[in-house]
Amino acid sequence: MGRRKKPKVYTDVRFTGIADKGRAVGRDAEGKVIFADGVAPGDVADVLVKRKKKGVLMGTAQEIKSYSPDRVEPVCEHFWLCGGCKWQHLSYEVQAREKEKVVRDTLSRIGKVEVEEFLPIRAAEQTTFYRNKLEFSFSNKRWLTREEIESGITNKADVLGFHRSGAFDKVIDIEKCWLQPDPSNDLRNGIKAIALEQGLTFHDAREHEGFMRQVMFRITTQGEILVLFSFHKEEPKKYQPFMDAVMERFPQITTVCYCINTKVNDFLYDLDMHTYAGKGYVEEKLGDVRFKVGPKSFFQTNTYQAKVLYDTVVEFASLKGTENVYDLYTGIGSIALYVAQACKQVVGIEEIPEAIADAEVNARLNDIENAVFYAGDVKDILTADFAERHGKPDLLITDPPRAGMHAKVVDMLLELAAPRMVYVSCNPATQARDLQLLSEKYRVVKARPVDMFPHTHHIENVALLELR
């Protein structure tokens, strides 16, 4: 068995850009590429390297020798501990510039994709309080800083906040989060106070006990609020007085839902949802399209930038009103319904049946009659027979998950040979791979990144392809 290499300190590493998972990328004096946490582009630092992955050294900053001129003071008191927002210590202008560079480099240098026109990034106007959905975890163990551990303080405390990456059984107690608009912080702090007042136990992930597990808020731009609670056991004598007290303290909540999670994991989407008060969903609006969003709905978490993203899709699509459009990986049909008024027909395909049920509800809500939806894996549903039944697409929109498109789907797209394609991606690396495969028949006319998640490494990119 090979021995693990002893950690080594690399001195005077000069950082020049951002990399995956919120790390910065730099080189030492000998030109070795190093990825590190706790630094920003423009910093020079000594880095303790603990591992090597695919020829790249991974480490943590030991000492920062000189600070980047692009650094700013993070707005959040939890920034250095929480890890949810990776780039609050970097000015937003630089974040946007770096994200644009990541997309350019990934497509052209790594993917060898030729983009005829690369349009500037659509940066977010709102860089704080931009999320419509947030989930928090209850825990009876608080995450401690190194100083706290060394002081001998106990981590036993009832807390409500975020899991730190890699710590499934400890939670950072959050006082004020800058991700979701009011009354998100008041709700979280008030709910925690009510649970403590009523003597309810907070979850212990190691022992797998404790009544209060999770809470999720959906706060829409239409002024509606959905609160979803996850309880460990079916105990109405505990949860009814608790939810009643929450509604009394926060009359602005429009619907309260709950689920019972007796499983070891925190995944909620395979559980039955119960409506305790209100209509069981909230309404959100993108452009002129209204959406019913329930506790399980897959909906873009940044409403403001989702509109910017979809407007970019519409702009690239240049629909005349006569087209037959396919929307692959349609989710709750949000893009399909957004373009429906501008085309003859839109056909959406999505693997998750509940999402398709939502899409059909939302089509009726908006009196959209030219959209049809199918539940199933795109690679199984999109066949030559399917295209014969629904007519060949004049435009194909695809918005796959992070893993990109299955090879069978790419082959089918090459066979269908739609004159134009708009590819929306949340992962430039897999998009570059797919565009390279599609280059057999398609050229990439233009691309534009859209920043949906300020202060994180995530970036969306929209590409327009035309048949050669």
Active site residues: 426
Query: H-helix or E-strand containing 413?
Result: helix 407-416
d(CA 41, CA 56): 17
d(CA 311, CA 294): 24
d(CA 249, CA 188): 12
> What count of other Cβ atoms lies within 10 Å of the Cβ of residue 168?
14
**Amino acid identity at 74:** P
Q: Which residues have CB under 8 Å from 7's CB, separation 6+?
A: 48, 49, 50
β pairing state of 33-37 and 56-66? parallel
Residue with tokens 């080189």: 27
d(CA 11, CA 113): 36
**Amino acid identity at 146:** R
Give the Å distances, CA to CA, from 200 to 8, 193, 228, 233.
47, 10, 17, 12
Rg (CA), the chain: 24
Q: Are 424 and 464 in contact (CB under 8 A)?
A: no
